[in-house]
Structure 1
């Protein structure tokens, strides 16, 4: 009893016919998952944060806390 010889001719083309579309579908699904699972919620969170953000109020609170060396608090 002997083993059958493996078919080597056309093996790459045969394997690519299956693996290339599968890889394409997996890549597209992962890209969609990242877009809708990460970037869209992050964009909504940034939009919500900056909707009520007051830069001058934040600057004044940091100035009062003494974070800036070149800007003195208004009480001095």
Structure 2
């Protein structure tokens, strides 16, 4: 049997034995929890900040702008004249 150069390299590759690293048997849960709790805490803070400044603050601004010029008596009179209320009639009716 004649061996070629590639066969020798291939055979030498399979002859080398490597030891596998030992599996972690202790503390794996604690290590993973510390890692994932940190990530989840950071993501929850980012989500809370995004909701506060992306939804809540613009909504507060919109309500403040609306009520800055809102006249409730004028709105009540407009609804009364439109006949929306059962308890009070429009001005022209008795």
Deviations 1:8-66, CA, capped at 9 Å, x for gaps: 42111010121111111000000000000000000000000000000001000100111
Larger radius of gyration, structure 1 or 2? Answer: 2
Which structure has more relative contact order (CA 8 Å, sep 6+)? It is 1
Unaligned runs of 5+ in 1: none
2:72 corresponds in structure 1 to 55
Aligned residues: 74
Match of 1:67 in 2: 84
Task: Compute the TM-score of the two structures, normalised by the length of structure 1.
Answer: 0.88
Structure 1 CA distance, aligned partners of 2:69 and 2:36?
49
TM-score by length of 2: 0.72
Unaligned 5+ runs, structure 2? 1-19
How big is the alpha-carbon RMSD for the aligned residues of Structure 1 and Structure 2? 1.6
